[in-house]
Structure 1
């Protein structure tokens, strides 16, 4: 499911001539905002439900350079969820469908009155259930990665 389409803005390009690493994070953050709209947590929903999402963790992987003016499309796949958390996987592709970056994120549902984690409201659960879901055991290859320097055993 494509959540967001945009283009690489001139101010996102760095001294290396391609989109700066922080701007990839910006695009994925904008995709989270769009995801929130899709699951009934737009400005009106956040206010009426007294509920929002916080990002707990993100793992961003850069695959290819993006350049000024290049079209970007961000898709989402729900890897898992429980009563108050979403484990999502975003992919960013160019107009030819080439993978530019991925962002795996853990999002937490928050009651804005108490500022504490809280279960998803029923309308939000219904909208979450309509998102594309990964089948158990069929996650994208880049999901669940750990960061580290591989070492060979002596």
Structure 2
């Protein structure tokens, strides 16, 4: 498999948009690292809305999504008031899990951070993993996919290179 470029945004169809809030800026004068995680968490909520698991969908299906694992990579600083956009790429999925890559960019399209995540579908009543309800599964199929070109930002491991 060839490696796709780091940039994975879908300029015409961002999953989530926001701006760097004043409260997110730290003593270094840029967005605090924890706030990047907040933005990606909000992007998971936007993903849930997109696949039909907004508040009404969760109630109707008795189903939600939990985050099992996340790998956040910081690329560039974000500053007070800066416009942010999060794009989604579905790397893989099965009946109850989503392996996704979120890419956070600024208004110029520069990659600020990426968050690779494993998400699990959960039956709310039992609190246990369960298969996506059919309408949700159909919506998952419509998500933008990585295809044969694995993004360079995905599948990284952490460690000191020697």
| TM-score, normalisation: structure 2 | 0.91
For 1:108, the equivalent position in structure 2 comes to: 120
Q: Distance in 2 between matches of 1:6 and 1:113?
A: 33
Q: Distance in 2 between matches of 1:77 and 1:57?
A: 16
For 1:142, the equivalent position in structure 2 comes to: 153
Cα RMSD (Å): 0.6
Give the drift of 1:55.
0.2
Moved over 6 A (4+): none
Q: Which structure's relative contact order is higher, taking Cα pairs within 8 Å and 6+ residues apart? A: 2
| TM-score, normalisation: structure 1 | 0.96
Q: For residue 145 of structure 1, give the secondary structure of its aligned residue in structure 2.
A: coil
Structure 2 regions of 5+ residues with no counterpart? 1-12
Query: 1:58-97 to 2 correspondence within 5 Å?
Result: 58-97=70-109
Aligned length: 150
Q: For residue 120 of structure 1, give the secondary structure of its aligned residue in structure 2.
A: coil
Deviations 1:51-88 (A, max 9, x none): 00000000000000000000000000000001100000
